[in-house]
């Protein structure tokens, strides 16, 4: 679903283990890492899209996870001009995403990257909480920082120091804070 402004509705999935590490996945045949994510189909809720994408991309079922939270608002990013498909209508200029924070309740052997005919990832690993915001492709960085910042208080105490982004990520967060839009479709 692409809205009137050109943003495709999408969900992002942050899977967290009992050590507050996050599932970080490498795009197939690329050296590009990201969280699982995917589009919301017409007449599909963000939650049902999340469960569908969770199964398609990492092979997990609803019983393998528990929803801890989702972002209060849509988080937007624009695609670089070279990624915009101008020949398609409507034009998609970027994505608007609802992010879900999930606790994984199964063991690592349940993760299966080969569940879909269109495999997205060829490798995954558990990483420290802020690492994805430091490594993701540049045009998604502010969305990752905003989602991780919103979820951090749910996972970390004030004393842990992980509640706020590291200093190098804080600067990247502020210019985009005003771009958040109301979440409901």
Which whole-number Å values give the CA distances from 66 to 49, 110, 129, 160, in the listed order? 15, 15, 18, 23
Helix (H) or strand (E) holding 7: strand 7-16
Q: Which residue has the tokens 């079922």?
A: 61
Please state the rounded mean pLDDT for residues 82-106: 82
d(CA 93, CA 44): 21
Residue 100 lies in a domain: yes
CATH number of the domain encompassing residue 51: 3.90.79.10
pTM: predicted TM-score of the whole model, two decimal places: 0.85
Residue 117 lies in a domain: yes
Q: Are 74 and 98 in contact (CB under 8 A)?
A: yes
158-173: pLDDT as tens digits: 656 565 666 666 555 4
109-147: pLDDT as tens digits: 999 999 888 899 999 999 999 999 999 999 999 999 999
Residue 27 lies in a domain: yes
Residue 59 lies in a domain: yes
Nearest CA-CA partner of 94 in 81, 82, 79: 79
Residue 99 lies in a domain: yes
Domain with 160 in it = 7-182
Residue 138 lies in a domain: yes
d(CA 129, CA 112): 22
Q: 94-104 and 181-182 as β-strands: parallel, antiparallel, unpaired?
A: unpaired
What's the total number of domains in the chain?
Answer: 1
Q: Give me the pLDDT at residue 86, please.
A: 62
Residue 2 lies in a domain: no
Q: Give me the pLDDT at residue 174, please.
A: 40
Residue 1 lies in a domain: no
């Amino acid at each position: 679903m692409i809205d009137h402004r050109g943003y495709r509705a999408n969900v992002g999935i942050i899977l967290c283990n009992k050590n507050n590490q996050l599932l970080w996945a490498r795009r197939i045949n690329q050296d590009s890492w990201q969280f699982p994510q995917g589009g919301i189909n017409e007449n599909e809720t963000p939650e049902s899209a999340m469960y569908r994408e969770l199964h398609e991309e990492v092979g997990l079922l609803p019983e393998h996870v528990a929803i801890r939270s989702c972002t209060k608002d849509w988080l937007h990013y624009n695609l670089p001009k070279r990624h915009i498909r101008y020949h398609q209508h409507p034009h998609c200029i970027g994505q608007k995403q609802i992010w879900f924070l999930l606790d994984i309740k199964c063991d690592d052997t349940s993760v299966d990257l080969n569940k879909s005919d269109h495999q997205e990832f060829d490798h995954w690993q558990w990483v420290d909480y802020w690492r994805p915001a430091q490594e993701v492709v540049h045009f998604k960085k502010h969305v990752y920082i905003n989602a991780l910042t919103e979820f951090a208080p749910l996972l970390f105490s004030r004393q842990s120091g992980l509640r706020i982004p590291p200093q190098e990520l804080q600067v990247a967060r502020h210019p985009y804070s005003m771009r958040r839009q109301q979440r409901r479709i």
